[in-house]
A and B are shown apart, each in its own frame.
Chain A
Amino acid sequence: MIKFKGKGVYGAIAIGDVSVFKRQDAQVRRTHVEDIQAEFKRFEAAKEVATQQLSQIYEKALKEVGETHAQIFEVHMMMLEDDDYNESIANLIETQSVNAEYAVASTADNFAAMFAAMDDTYMQARAADVKDISNRLIACLTNAGSASNDSSDKMIVCADDLAPSETVSLDKERVLAFVTAFGSSNSHTAILARNMNIPAVISVGEEFLKSVKDGDRIIVDGHTGDIIVSPDADTEAKYAKKQAEDKRKKELLQELKGKDNVTLDGARVNIYANIGGVDGIGAVLANDAGGIGLFRSEFLYLESEDYPTEEQQFLAYRKVLESMAGKTVIIRTLDIGADKQIDYFKLDKEENPALGFRAIRICLTRPEIFRTQLRALYRASAYGKLGIMFPMITSVSEVEQILAICEGIKAELKGEGIPYDEKTEVGIMIETPAAAVISDKLAPLVDFFSVGTNDLTQYTLACDRQNAKLEPFCDTHHEAVLRLIEMSAQNAHKHGAWIGICGELAADLTLTETFLRMGIDELSVSAPFVLPLRDTVRKLDLKA
């Protein structure tokens, strides 16, 4: 029995057999070919298959990990079409009468060497892309299957780290858990594991990989990050029990459906869900959320080739409101920036997109975009209980400008005889330290606040969320952040506004009591967290 410790990225236990992830570093043999034309044809056919595979991976990645992470596969497809790469392969086949596999492998070596020799770490990493596409081509030429294991049993996949194409290509039905030697909580494996509800432990260290082989019995505890290789009978029994308890807990949670979010001493809180598209509504209802606390409207813009029209937006918003049948739906207006690019917006490249031209700043600079969205929202308000929320607020004047535009639009609609809901609530995100600090000035202007803890933490602690190196410095429970939230809550209540939290911290069960004591009125979390959060709330006693 050997123990390792890593970082758990999805809390659940898996017990099973190891499948060490194998890369297709296929051994390529050089053979002499007589029929050059036939070899060209084999190569072209393989390239076609490889391109198809890549486009499937791209589509799969688009759904599972989003556009930013999927883009690399688009580049892979372009690299496959590269003239020099193709010419080099064709030349080798023709002038040396070698098999296509060999021509691909040796071309790959040359191009990879070119990238590896560059004095730029980003470009050096491109060598791996050349190898990745070339290995795929070779696999297509030799008709080799995918890199995964042939066994049909469920396996615990152990790898050094998983490349994007590798993670996305794994057959999710057969993965019990992921364990990687390297990687950060922002890595593809981690993101995917969380989205798939699969236990995963990362950063276990290099020693781990040397200690496991295919078929080894292994326990993965995604709660604690503990890994136990070849456990003794007692340990395995202990974990099997823990796993069963986990399962029972999940079933118990199902019983919580329909129950109130009320503490033992009678304090209530609304528990809503966050979604990013119309297709998320099913999960919201299945998990018995009381409403939608954050509906990201970006999908309308991302799925479109050009600015979505008022009518398109209206229909989407109306559908959401109608599906939620009178439950609160808070829709956040457009929140994009240089890091979340949409081509037709033609935003300039920025050195520092997190502090750049984004969200409400775009909307106030380009009011025609903003007005279209607001008209669509107000028109939809007649079909349910809508709240409109504005992101990235830093000043009173921004809110005043927004409110003036809203009033103008309501007057327009009235003039045109188009129905809208007068009681539509208007709120702002508290996601900059500035907004929290002046929350006493902002609260009288709006109906509600919603704290975006991810950005609030990033801006307060000056920590880039994407930078894995900063993880030790980015204490999500930092007192500075909690004080800003508490201050905003006090100011909201003083002026008759309510306050919710829609960032990741809302789902942090260790903070639920703290938030309830602050008087937070609403917590909005991804749908799978709704019932665990209700369970936590119902066990709290704030008077104790």
Chain B
Amino acid sequence: MKTFSYTIKDAVGIHARPAGLLAKLAKTFSSTVTLEKDGKSVNVTKLMMLMGMGIKCGDTVNFTVEGEDEEAAAKAVEDFMAANL
């Protein structure tokens, strides 16, 4: 299991397009990528629920990546967050 935190820098937060791209990215791995904020968590492949979290600029979110390719998946998600959000 891999975990890491990320603080959102994008002014609009995890909005529609990055949420879509994140979901798409997570689906390419067999590992489960879970995002948690304030006790609420969501599997990031679930686009609508992910958008429904209402994650804003300045929010810190915790990722948990678990599965066979967790190493690669965690790296990919972390890079994605840094580049897009």
Contacts and interface: CB of A to CB of B under 8 A. Distances in A.
A111 B17 contact: no
A114 B52 contact: yes
Interface string A435-476: 000000000000000000000000000000000000000000
B24 to A, nearest CB: 7
B16 A126 contact: yes
Contacts of A111: 48
Interface string B1-27: 000000001111101110110011000
Interface in B5-60: 9-13, 15-17, 19-20, 23-24, 45-49, 51-52, 54, 56
B61 interface: no
**Interface of chain B, helix or strand or loop or mixed?**
helix
B49 to A, nearest CB: 6
Given A115-B51, A119-B54, A348 B82 contact: yes
Which of A83, A111, A349 is the most central at the interface, judged by chain B CB atoms within 10 Å of its CB? A349
Interface stretch (A72-80, A203-211, A252-260, A502-510): A72-80
Contact of B52 (A75, A115, A129, A347): A115
Contacts, number: 60
Contacts of A119: 54
Interface residues of B, number: 25
A84 interface: yes
B11 A351 contact: yes
Interface residues of A, number: 27
Interface string A82-105: 111100000000000000000000
Contacts of A130: 48
B16 A349 contact: no
A349 B54 contact: no
A482 to B, nearest CB: 33
Interface string B50-85: 011010100000000000000000000000001111
Contact of A118 (B11, B48, B54, B82): B54
Which of B13, B16, B56 is the most central at the interface, judged by chain A CB atoms within 10 Å of its CB? B16
Given A75-B17, A85-B48, A120 B23 contact: no
**Interface of chain A, helix or strand or loop or mixed?**
helix
A120 B85 CA distance: 17
B20 A74 contact: yes
A135 B30 CA distance: 33
B62 to A, nearest CB: 20
Interface string A240-280: 00000000000000000000000000000000000000000
Contacts of B52: 114-115, 118, 123
Contacts of B9: 349, 351
Nearest to A123: B54
Given A120-B54, A346-B83, A75 B16 contact: yes
B46 to A, nearest CB: 5
B24 A78 contact: yes
A514 interface: no
Given A78-B20, A348-B82, A126 B51 contact: yes
Which of A82, A119, A120 is the most central at the interface, judged by chain B CB atoms within 10 Å of its CB? A82
A129 B52 CA distance: 13
A79 B47 CA distance: 7
Contacts of A126: 16, 51
Given A74-B20, A78-B24, A120 B13 contact: yes
Contacts of A75: 16-17, 19-20
Nearest to B51: A126
A130 B49 CA distance: 12
A71 B17 contact: yes
Given A114-B52, A118-B52, A348 B47 contact: no
A120 B56 contact: yes
B12 to A, nearest CB: 5
A79 B13 CA distance: 18
By Cβ-Cβ distance, the 3 closest A-B pairs, closest first, are A78-B20, A75-B16, A75-B20
13 contacts: A71-B17, A75-B19, A75-B20, A78-B23, A79-B48, A82-B46, A85-B48, A122-B13, A122-B15, A126-B16, A126-B51, A349-B9, A349-B84
Interface of A: 71-72, 74-75, 78-79, 81-85, 111, 114-115, 118-120, 122-123, 126, 129-130, 346-349, 351
Given A72-B16, A114-B48, 5 more contacts: A83-B45, A120-B56, A123-B52, A348-B83, A349-B10
